[in-house]
Amino acid sequence: MNKLLHFIGIAYRAGRVQKGAFLSEKAIKDGSARLVLIALDASENTKDKFASMCQYYDVVCFLAETKEMLGKVTGGADMRSVIALTDDGFAKRTEELLRLGQMEQLGRSEI
């Protein structure tokens, strides 16, 4: 498993990840989301919806990994199209790892 997925797993176990579209959307709207990850294989509608929402609410947003991998690192066998990190420290380190991996950013550039 790569460093990014391992780090997201740590953030999840620390209770700093909202998983799934509904909880991620809630975190974005209530201001607790610091960074949002959208699966590369999510539908175009989901990508557009969350990219727009993150831009409007000024939240950093990246395309990264697959639905299956986001589901696995957040404690289940189910697939997740979107996850939101709610801790500044975890979000900054995750953004660093994403930039090292040259992942596509959709939202704000600074945390």
Rounded distance between C-alpha atoms, residue 110 and residue 58, angstroms: 9
- pLDDT tops 50 at residue 111: no
- pLDDT tops 50 at residue 53: yes
Q: pLDDT at position 102, please? A: 60
- pLDDT tops 80 at residue 1: no
More confident residue, 75 or 31: 31
- pLDDT tops 60 at residue 50: yes
Share of the chain above pLDDT 70, in %: 90
Cα dihedral: 57, 62, 66, 69 (round 10): -80
